[in-house]
Amino acid sequence: MTHKQKKMLARVGAALAIFIVVEIIAHTGLVEGEHGLWIQFGLFLVPYLIAGYDVLGRAVHGITHGQPFDENLLMSIATIGAFALVFFPEAEPHMAEGAAVMLFYQVGEFFEEYAVGRTRRSITEMMDIAPDYANIMRDGDLVQVDPYEVAIGDEIVVKPGERIPLDGIVVDGASQLDTSALTGESVPRVVEAGVAVVSGCVNMTGVLTVRATKPFDQSTVSRILELVEEASEKKGRTEAFITRFARYYTPIVVGLAAIIAFASPVLFGQSWTDSIKGALIFLVVSCPCALVISVPLSFFSGIGAASRAGIMVKGSVYLEALAAAETVVFDKTGTLTNGTFNVVAVHTAEGVAPDLVLSYAAHAEAYSDHPIALSVKASYSGVIDRDQIARVEERSGMGIAADIDSHAVLVGNDKLMEAEGIDFKNCELVGTILYVALDGRHIGHIVIADVLKDDAEAAVRDLHAVGVKRIVMLTGDREEVAAAVADRLGIDEFHAQLMPGDKVSRVERLMARNDAANASGPAFGKASSKRFGARFGHREGTLAFVGDGINDAPVLMRSDVGIAMGAMGSDAAIEAADVVLMDDKPSNIARTVTIARKTMAIVWQNIIFAIGVKVVIMILALPFIGIATMWLAVFGDVGVACLAILNSMRALRLGR
């Protein structure tokens, strides 16, 4: 609890204690006689002013600065009016109700302050990931410098217990990293020399030397902090509508209260005291606090819950759009797959050991930096002896011919085998097939493929489980590779051999298809639903695109919701995206959709509940009905607001 919250709690607590004492005095008859009523007036005025002096001050400030119509004015008019009824001899005194309205209004304000503070803490916990310093060697000494002073290529020493200050590559040491602040994962990540690390992670065990690959202002931690700052600025349509609603709603309510107070005696023959009392009750119950507070708080809490799970949502507008997602489109490489080539199988001729095939292939590729060559060399467990390599000749578009340890070795595709007249066996597996021939004889082949991420299957399965109707994959890879990936993952539709521009046009067609599907069906139901969605939220059947590379940036911007991989994704993709997965796990997309939908459910629960209760009490407060009391109005305002706030705070638990 903050210092401000403690002061507010102390003030409200003191006012409540005095109010209870005064109420006891008033009901026990200790203050009676000719001046008893005015003594009670003065006594009830004490807790009223202690609790509400700031509300009265804000109302005066709004009037003098040309912005009078807000909840402070409603509370001020209603409570002052309740005290003013003492001047009408025929009216029942309502000082207790006036003091109670202000007191419990402040109780509601305290709940709001506490709830917002708790929600803000859940988000700003991520602000603690920002490192205060970086350790670098200068003149043989380890010194602490500002992370902004570290240049690309500088080597940073990270001790156990310290945060990694900049993105980089481990050049020395081995350790375990706590990545929970970024990814929400509780399992430590093991790192060693050659492994890429991102800023904001906590070094747990050994000392690491990290070579910086990005300046601090472009590092992962800086991007996260920017996303946190931007998130609160982008309001969803529902939230923005509530803000506009409150702006026009308050002056209308004041006008209606004036009509009730001054027109009822003329039109319905009501007494002036009853009319004024009904108008005051109307003002109290009509205060829009429950809506103005709970709706933004619900979105804020939903974003906080997502951030705790390592999912950065850049604003409530995107949370709202994601809740309506019916189609999720995936890029393949780097999104559903790891984005790196790996040896997935080694098939050999009879009597040939797999390690022998890998050995000759690795030696033949010894001088190549091609990703396929690197994957072969990484898979070979032995030591490459370059002294054995007498000659290496690259065959353009086919492979490599080399003399290794006095043997003629060929490593390449089927075209190379055919060109050399070597019989070989076709492989049924999908991927890049690297055939190996020794002295004119095929001895085996190596299957190289981009390996699926561990949770790719779970990602597709979970999205279907949460109600996403169609899952599509777009890729620039070959048709047969795309078909194999789609079949294995259970993807509904795929399109292969696409250029970045082709991806944009495909997404636009899918979005148009969504619109056409949502426009079909029963005319009244669909038309009214579309109008409702256009007025209060996103259109039905939104499309989310998931990508990681710079080539995905145009599609991320064009889609209804762009989702990027945050850990290893390109800066362009992260900037273009609306949602960033800091752990690069596609399985978290279904989790994000669930958080978004539950958040929207809480938002609409608050809207319907608050408006429903207030409308009922407003009707009961009309002078010609006259059933509602000031205490019922207190519940309609403060009680409903507190319940809505508590309901909004449920969104904080959605990410757990």
Which residues belong to the active site?
Answer: 331
Q: How many CB atoms lie within 10 A of CB 584?
A: 22
Element (DSSP H or E) covering residue 285: helix 272-286
> In angstroms, rounded to a whole number, what is the distance separating the alpha carbons of residues 566 and 585?
10
Would you call 137 helix, strand, or coil by DSSP? strand
Would you call 46 helix, strand, or coil by DSSP? helix
Q: Count of alpha carbons within 13 Å of 214, Cβ hemisphere only?
A: 20
> In angstroms, rounded to a whole number, what is the distance separating the alpha carbons of residues 213 and 358?
33
CA distances from 235 to 249, 251, 317 (A): 20, 24, 5
Q: How many CB atoms lie within 10 A of CB 24?
A: 10
> In angstroms, rounded to a whole number, what is the distance separating the alpha carbons of residues 521 and 529?
11
> In angstroms, rounded to a whole number, what is the distance separating the alpha carbons of residues 435 and 388?
21
> In angstroms, rounded to a whole number, what is the distance separating the alpha carbons of residues 93 and 87?
9
Identify which of 25, 49, 48 has the alpha carbon closest to the alpha carbon of residue 37.
25
Angle at 544 between CA 550 and CA 591, to 5 degrees: 105
Place of tokens 């939220």: 537
Say if residue 408 is exposed, middle or buried (CB neighbours under 10 Å; 0-12, 13-18, 19+).
Answer: middle
- Biggest CA–CA distance in the chain, Å, is 123
Annotate 54-92 with b (16+ C-beta within 10 A) or e (fewer): ebbebbeebeeeeebbbbbbbbbbbbbbbbbbbeeeebe
What is the chain's Cα-based Rg?
34
- Give the DSSP per-residue string, 143-192: EEE-GGGPPTT-EEEE-TTPBP-S-EEEEE--EEEE-HHHH---S-EEE-
> In angstroms, rounded to a whole number, what is the distance separating the alpha carbons of residues 216 and 205?
24
> In angstroms, rounded to a whole number, what is the distance separating the alpha carbons of residues 283 and 105?
13
- Give the DSSP per-residue string, 62-89: HHHTT---SHHHHHHHHHHHHHHGGG-T
> In angstroms, rounded to a whole number, what is the distance separating the alpha carbons of residues 198 and 167?
4
Bridge partners (DSSP) of residue 494 are 473
Torsions phi, psi of 365, nearest 5? -95, 15
